[in-house]
Amino acid sequence: MSFTVSRYEEDKFERYLNLKGLIEFKPTEEDAHKEEIRILITREKSNEYITIGSVRIEGTNIQGVTLELGRGTDIESNSPCEPDNRMRYECKRIPSGEYEFELNTSLESDQGQHVFRSIRLKAKEGVNRDGILIHRGNSYTFSWGCILSMYSSQLTEILARPSEFLNQTRMGYNSKAGNVAASEVFVMALYEYIKEQDPDGDLTKVVVIQDNEEETDLLLPTADFDLRKKAANYYYDLNVSNEADNLVANTPYKLIKGVLNSNGVLSSIVAKREEFRRRISLGENMNEQQIRAELRALWDQQIAQISDQLTTENLAETYDEETHFISPLSAWIRTQIPTEPQLNLVIPTMFEKRSDPNTPIQYYYLKEVNKESIALSGVKLLLNSSLTDTIAQIMEETIQ
């Protein structure tokens, strides 16, 4: 027998073969099911954010650990996990019960690695959650309600002493328990085993999710995630993205005005205007039209002298994300929640550039909503579209 494996799959396939050799994916003689494949998931310990437990295929020696979202009320568990409540850390694990499943055959290039070679739970009457998979992953950020599974030779130890195998800043398993690669290979092995046992798709296939009656609290510090949750809720409640939009739109104005100030253009116009006012107060006959004409002439003269600094390229070089975006937005947030006792922690948390998980400003604003606008390329686009009009606006504000 021979196999053809792509270069992309080579490493994963090798790990898959090693895993199969390690735990011998095969039915046990006494318990093998012939007409049904049942995956049993048992929830053991949980906190507000995550649940850990075990997964096994009944009638086999295939087993591993699981990670899901935290335990919620019946209403919370039955509520869809949408982007807004996901980023507010409000999504919870799906209701326990029995779900039929199918092998997901979506192409990896189309759907992402968490979908390819995964197990899809079918929609169930009375359960308002869909698109739930058993797929790869080892921390909170991988799940919007899906069940993450991973092989570990230390299943008993993990469930007995979870704090040794979990990372509180990621709300997930640490390297002592296993990594994403171990999870990916385990899910691949589950997929291939089921496909091997049911090549024609005729067998009944069921996932049984059960809440352990003695499910206990997961004793893992949550202060870091609690802070992220607080920051996320302020982000949405204060409509921070709207203020961020205003800052981005105002960037060309600030950059141009900064160059004009540094070259003394604005101060010279103001000084000249004050001189005209003194002359009028001393009885000199000057009308507003004359004053504007002279101020405009002075403006044009000074702008001509620094025209090389008022190009898109040169203005863009003066842009700094911290100075022009993060600092002013942080200052605005402070004015909105001045009595928040964790203010000095909440604001930096909003801007933390973590990938696991991303905080709201970083994920939704910096990465998704306006990633181009606050990048140098985005600033250049804004300048190109508004440079002449913005200079004219500042002139009008200054000479009147």
**DSSP of 30-99:** TT--SSEEEEEEEEEEE-SSEEEEEEEETTBS-EEEEEEEPP--HHHHTS---HHHHHTT---PPPPEEE
Same domain, 216 and 232: no
Q: pLDDT (tens digit, 0 to 9) for every residue of the chain, 400 residues total?
A: 343 444 445 555 555 445 555 555 555 555 444 689 999 999 999 999 999 999 999 988 888 999 999 999 999 999 999 888 888 899 999 999 999 999 987 665 555 656 678 999 999 998 999 889 999 889 998 899 999 999 888 889 999 999 999 999 889 999 888 777 788 888 888 888 899 899 888 899 999 999 988 888 999 999 989 998 998 899 889 988 889 888 888 999 999 999 999 999 999 999 999 999 899 889 888 888 999 999 999 999 999 999 999 999 999 999 888 898 889 999 999 999 999 999 998 888 887 755 555 566 665 566 555 556 666 777 888 899 999 999 999 999 998 8
Q: Are residues 113 and 209 in the same domain?
A: yes
Tokens of 338: 């001045």
- Structure confidence at residue 371 (pLDDT): 58
For 338-348, b/e burial (b = at least 16 CB within 10 A) is: eeeeeeeebbe
Residue 174 shares a structural domain with residue 256:
no
Asked if residue 151 and residue 33 are part of one domain, the reply reads yes
The DSSP symbol for 362 reads: I
Give the chain's largest Cα–Cα span: 112
369 Cβ neighbours under 8 A, 6+ residues apart: 241
- Per the structure block, which two tokens stand in for 93? 């694990």
**87 lies in the same domain as 205:** yes
Q: Does a structural domain hold residue 97?
A: yes
Cα–chain-centroid distance for residue 339? 28
For position 6, what pLDDT does the model report? 44
pLDDT at 368: 57
pLDDT of 2 reads 41
Judged on CB neighbours under 10 Å (0-12, 13-18, 19+), 37 is: buried
Tell me the sheet residues that pair with 134. 119, 147
Final residue of a domain: which of 158, 192, 220? 220
Is 50:146 a contact under the CB 8 Å cutoff?
Answer: no
Beta bridge mates, 39: 57, 207
Type of residue found at 12: K
**In Å, what is the CA distance from 249 to each residue of 255, 322, 395?**
12, 16, 19
How far lies 285's CA from each of 90, 129, 281, 294, in Å? 70, 79, 9, 14
Of the candidates 328, 317, 322, the one whose C-alpha atom is nearest the C-alpha of residue 383 is 317
Instruction: State pTM to two decimals.
Output: 0.79
Asked whether residue 274 is domain-assigned, the answer is: no
Element (H, E) at 139: none
Contact of 234 with 337, CB cutoff 8 Å: yes
Distance CA 266, CA 303 (A): 10
User: In terms of C-beta density within 10 A (0-12 exposed, 13-18 middle, 19 or more buried), how is residue 132 classed?
Assistant: buried
Task: Work out the burial of residue 239: count CB atoms within 10 Å of its CB; fewer than 13 is exposed, 13-18 middle, 19 or more buried.
Answer: exposed
329 and 251 share one domain: yes
* Residue whose token pair is 């500042």: 394
Do 216 and 233 lie in one domain? The reply is no
pLDDT for 209: 97
Total domains present in the chain: 2
Residue 147 lies in a domain: yes
For residues 390 and 338, membership in a common domain is answered with yes
Residue 30 sits in the same domain as residue 158 = yes
Write phi, then psi, for 207 (nearest 5 degrees): -105, 125
Show Cβ contacts of residue 125 under 8 Å, excluding neighbours closer than 6 positions.
none
Instruction: List the domain range (segments joined by +) for residue 60.
Output: 7-220
Q: Which residue in 354, 356, 346, 347 sits closest to 326, CA to CA? A: 347
Among residues 191, 220, 249, the one where a domain terminates is: 220
Let me know if residue 284 belongs to a domain.
no
Are 242 and 117 contained in the same domain? Answer: no
